[in-house]
Structure 1
Amino acid sequence: MNLQEHYNQLYKKSSEAILEGNYNLDSQINNTSDSRFGLTLLIRPSQEIKANIQLFLDELKTIEPEQYYYPDSDIHITVLSIISCYEGFTLDKIKVEDYIEIVQNSLTDLDKIKIEFRGITASPSAIMIQGFPTDESLNVLRDKLRENFKKSPLEQSIDSRYSISTAHSTVMRFQEPLQNPKKIIEIADKFRHYDFGKFTAENLELVYNDWYQREENTIHVKDFNL
């Protein structure tokens, strides 16, 4: 996949939809009874990158204060959604040690994962930071994880929603009708190719999480040093 072309097409289609009022609101963000949980392997960007992301979000907040903005603690890149969030999933339904073992085995001979955050893209319901792996390490890891989990008898739903191939971070979601769609796109255009920075992943996190990766609902299962 050509990531830049993928992000470009996504932004063009989504920005046009937003300007035309054909965007989607997320009605579950403030639903305290939302019981969708899953098991995810993820990477956290560096503090420097998070600070640059918040500068972008601060501009958006001035015109759309009622939307949902990710705090530093929740910003992440999904390496793989091992068990996609679904209602009623709890950690006691699986043997966590078996999942840890498969992830650990998949890290053998893995090169450093380096990611560049450059520019933004959008969906009809969210704004994302574009992530670009600098080599094939992330894809190699994903393929190893897919192979090893699918050979196992463990519960998993890898690629059940879609086959992940990007390295983006969602940082804003639409939860209320937009007050100024035109201004949102103007700010998005301003940051369309902005250099948020590069980082080398120091570790991976296996977490039990809700749909939005909110820190208060997350259980850290295991850290894997890289």
Structure 2
Amino acid sequence: MNLKDHYNALYTESIQKISNDDYQIDHLIDSPLDKRFGITLIIRPSIEVKNKIQEFLNKIKVIEPNQYYYKNSDIHITVMSIISCYDGFQLKDINLSEYIKLINQSLNCNIDLEISFKGITASPSCLMVQGFMNNNSLNIIRNNLRENFKNTTLEQSIDKRYSIQTAHSTVCRFSKKLNQKSEFLKSIEHFRNYDFGSFKVKNLELVYNDWYQKEKHVKRLFDFSI
């Protein structure tokens, strides 16, 4: 996949939809009734990169203060959604040590991964920072995970929603109607190719999480050094 072309196509299509009021508002973001949980393997960007993302978010918050903006503690890149969030999932229902063992096996390769965050893209429901990898290490890990989990009876939902191939990070979700839509989109366009910086990936985290990776709900299960 050519990531630049993919992000560009996504941006063009999504901005057009948002312009036409064809965007999706997430009504569950602040709901105490949302009980969707799962387990995910994630990468956390460096604090320097996250602080640059907050500078961008602070600019658009002035225009649309009522949308849902990710805190530094919640910003992440999904390596793989092992068990996608669903209502009723509990950690006690799985053998966690088997998952850790299998992920360790999947990381048994030469990994030298650096991710550059450059530019903004969008979907009809959110804004994302574009991530670019310096090599194919991340997709090798993902393919190892797919193959290894496919050969077990462990509960998993890998690729059930879509086959993940990017290194983006969601930073804003639409939780209310856009009141200053034109100005909002103009500000996003200003950051379309903004350089948020790069970071070397030193570890992956396996976490128990809600749909939004909110710090108050996330439980770190294991830290994999690479």
TM-score by length of 2: 0.99
Shift, 1:110, TM fit: 2.8
Matches within 5 A, 1:68-217: 68-217=68-217
Gaps of 5+ in 2: none
Q: Secondary structure at the match of 2:216?
A: helix
Deviations 1:51-85 (A, max 9, x none): 10000000010010000000000000000000001
CA contact (8 A) 1:117 1:132 kept: yes
Runs of 4+ that moved beyond 3 A:
none
Distance 2:199 2:125 in 1: 27
Q: What CA RMSD, in Å, does the superposition of the two structures yield over aligned residues?
A: 0.7
CA contact (8 A) 1:110 1:141 kept: no
Distance 1:172 1:116 in 2: 19
Distance 2:183 2:20 in 1: 13
Distance 2:77 2:153 in 1: 26
Matched letter for residue 211 of structure 1 = W
CA contact (8 A) 1:118 1:194 kept: yes
Gaps of 5+ in 1: none
Identity, in percent, stands at 54
Q: Secondary structure at the match of 1:8?
A: helix
Distance 2:109 2:123 in 1: 35
Matched letter for residue 166 of structure 1 = T
How many residue pairs are counted as aligned between the two chains? Answer: 226
Farther-moved stretch of structure 1 (7-16 vs 103-112): 103-112
TM-score by length of 1: 0.99
